[in-house]
Chains A and B, each alone.
Chain A
């Protein structure tokens, strides 16, 4: 990344810790054995060749966390930004991502107009919560990796693959003070480019299963013919366990919100996946993250249905963020709303919740007045 390159971080990672806290190095020039050689994005370079293509997946060793030993915690000059309310959910018309716009540092509103919904590509946005600086950094890193993937493989990585890539990128920093909780909200295009709607459960579930098995076989075979676009087998195989289980129970129901949840394994359609710096990676239909999330869950769990119209979904998302910002001190200011369909993402205008609050207060005041007049 630019900052790393500029500071020559990758060449000398051990120089970036307070020297007094490190044991004296015998030979600072030689690389310490336990630390994997870092490439420019922190991924390990292959021992055999200097080629660095493809996502950072290495089958013979799970990613080790060098950062944990080298980076003892440095005391911060001021508390980091943590409070927020973000949410994302799927419904029949696509995906809605909503967030407030307040960045707080302890009790101070550091910035009232932050963008917490960051686009990654035309069909994927990321809502961020946790430490503001970390979120911006990791969203940018993710955007870069997705662009590189697109250049190398000629197609956009699926939302599940993106989530896995992000989780792998965050894993070396587990145990350090990196704090990000991102919700990837996106729409997967079909392999033929023309997206089929995700309601077609039976064929989507079984075709996902078949392709996962095909992909399994393809690894040991020869490389595919040039010009033939294949599904990246490693990233899609995580579906192996879930797709086999859901295809056997997919006959029982057709609703996307059913317990067997076959829409999660459909290869096209809306997706919401939660990734956090602990390493958790969860796919689901509704996620709300941040200090205001319990308040938002209260509104969303009551009102969310698959069959919502677009306007109803907008108003539900706005209501949830509004109620959370009302009760949570660390969320507030405005609400951002982005909706993603098969055509891509589009943003609604930012709305000031202060106006909303006063409008509603007026309405309630009028109702109370009416009632008082009637009872008089």
Chain B
């Protein structure tokens, strides 16, 4: 049901997540933010079991911030990804595993943009593009076909998300989209379906 996607560009990483928080058949919230800011240059996108996502992501977020306070400098995206993986792996074979799927995206001043894919079995892989959820089945093939290293410009995201509108049986009405580059994390325009755009315009005109 939930969907995450990340694409690494030449000097940025683009990430998007759907914004639905559901409880069985009801959408409890349709503007839910699934991205957690670990530092000025690192975002953690987290989906999975209801309480585990926020609990685990906030735990990682606070510990990354604590590292900065203790040592005076921030963790790099690679270090943060490995730290996250280690924690997930430690809990995997305990009585209380965290069932979460993650994407970690960051920009390192020395190494450039980085995107990491992590699943609930704590497999970690650095990848040029990655996606989680049922929507991944539909979008990964498009990325395989059209992605060229250094060639993703960002106008192609809307077309990527439109395939979900066309073929995915569940209606994912809107997505939060953010980009990370050397200046930090930037909010991009939320990609919405037509109805949500109309609703948004009506609210703003009120």
Contacts and interface: CB of A to CB of B under 8 A. Distances in A.
Interface stretch (A1-9, A77-85, A198-206, A272-280): A272-280
A249 B188 CA distance: 9
The interface residues of chain A, by DSSP majority, are classed as mixed
Contacts of B58: 238
Interface string B187-206: 10010100010001001101
A278 B206 contact: no
Contact of B96 (A64, A234, A238): A64
12 contacts: A216-B65, A241-B33, A241-B37, A245-B178, A259-B203, A276-B50, A279-B50, A279-B51, A280-B28, A284-B28, A284-B29, A284-B31
B96 A282 contact: no
Interface in A239-273: 240-242, 244-245, 248-249, 252-253, 255, 257-259, 261
A145 B174 CA distance: 38
A220 interface: yes
Given A241-B37, A255-B206, A62 B59 contact: yes
A274 to B, nearest CB: 6
Contacts of A242: 33
Contacts of B95: 34, 64-65, 68-69
A297 interface: yes
Contact of A64 (B54, B94, B186): B94
A298 to B, nearest CB: 11
A278 B22 CA distance: 12
Given A257-B203, A259-B190, A59 B62 contact: yes
A166 B59 CA distance: 16
A68 B37 CA distance: 31
B29 A281 contact: no
B205 to A, nearest CB: 9
A217 to B, nearest CB: 9
B46 to A, nearest CB: 11
B49 interface: yes
A328 B12 CA distance: 51
B152 interface: no
Contacts of A231: none
A194 B160 CA distance: 48
Among A259, A284, A287, chain B packs the most CB atoms within 10 A around the CB of A259
A259 B58 CA distance: 23
Contact of B54 (A234, A279, A284, A297): A279
A167 B59 CA distance: 14
Contacts, number: 105
B28 A62 contact: no
Contact of A294 (B26, B36, B63, B203): B26
Interface residues of A, number: 48
B52 interface: yes
Contacts of B65: 216, 237
A307 interface: yes
B35 interface: yes
A167 B62 contact: no
Among B28, B31, B61, chain A packs the most CB atoms within 10 A around the CB of B28
Interface residues of B, number: 44
B56 interface: yes
Nearest to B57: A241
Nearest to B205: A255
A276 B28 CA distance: 12
Nearest to A293: B26
Contact of A279 (B31, B32, B52, B204): B52
B203 A245 contact: no
A52 B200 CA distance: 47
B148 to A, nearest CB: 30
Given A64-B94, A238-B58, A248-B187, A280 B69 contact: no
Nearest to A244: B37
Given A216-B65, A276-B50, A279-B55, 19 more contacts: A62-B55, A174-B51, A216-B69, A241-B61, A245-B176, A245-B178, A252-B204, A253-B203, A258-B203, A259-B31, A259-B174, A261-B31, A278-B50, A280-B23, A280-B28, A281-B54, A287-B28, A293-B26, A294-B26
A220 B63 contact: no
A167 B54 CA distance: 10
A307 B25 CA distance: 29
Given A240-B37, A287-B28, A59 B63 contact: yes
A219 interface: yes
A171 interface: yes
Among B63, B178, B204, chain A packs the most CB atoms within 10 A around the CB of B204
B80 interface: no
Nearest to B65: A216
Among A234, A248, A258, chain B packs the most CB atoms within 10 A around the CB of A258
Contacts of B121: none
B185 interface: yes
